[in-house]
Amino acid sequence: MIINYSDQDVIKGKKSIFLAGPTPRGENIISWRTEACQILNQIGFDGIVYVPEYSSWKPKEDYVDQAMWERIALTNATVIIFWIPRKLPDMAAFTTNVEFGYWLHSGKVVYGRPNDASKIKYLDWLYALDYNKTPYDDLQSLLEESVQLVDNLYDQQLGEVLPLEERKIIRKLGKETTRN
């Protein structure tokens, strides 16, 4: 597993997971992405993990540079997981709301949040409407599903992500399928 932080160039063309969700706004708050990377490593994910935070885990410095890095990484990600442990005011996830809506129709979103997350009812509803699934309520299960989806969507021989229509078919079937 390779962790690709936002203070590094985006690694392209590999199977990958983007860790979308709130970024802590204070240096004394530990990012949920630390645990997510540990879990992905433990379950043997062998791709790229896009972490939209600096490798030093310090808050971002340049907003435009950060936003552009995220856009490039989100576009290149095989799967985008949205983990939204929203707690106001330190983990607000306002930008995450926009990203969720923007990427929801991509066919590569897996969504979850802890049961005590604040103000997530609309996101839950959208996810159920578009994916016919309930949100995951624990990070481990969310990441395990994400790794399975990455392996389903990424064609190892061609080194590319399946086209959107094929991703939607896999999602609707809810089971592993092979590409001809």
pLDDT tens per residue, range 90-146? 777 878 889 999 999 888 999 999 999 999 999 999 999 988 999 999 999 999 999
> What is the pTM (predicted TM-score) of this model?
0.83
Q: Are 40 and 49 in contact (CB under 8 A)?
A: yes
DSSP run (H or E) holding 4: strand 2-5
How many structural domains is the chain composed of?
1
The answer to whether residues 6 and 52 touch, using CB atoms and an 8 Å cutoff, is: yes
pLDDT in tens, 26-63: 677 788 999 999 999 999 999 999 999 988 756 556 67
180 falls within a domain: no
- DSSP run (H or E) holding 111: strand 109-112
CA 176 to chain centroid? 20
- Whether residue 63 lies inside any domain: the answer is yes
Residue 11 lies in a domain: yes
CATH of the domain at 116: 3.40.50.450
Full domain range(s) for residue 102: 2-173
Tokens of 155: 């064609």
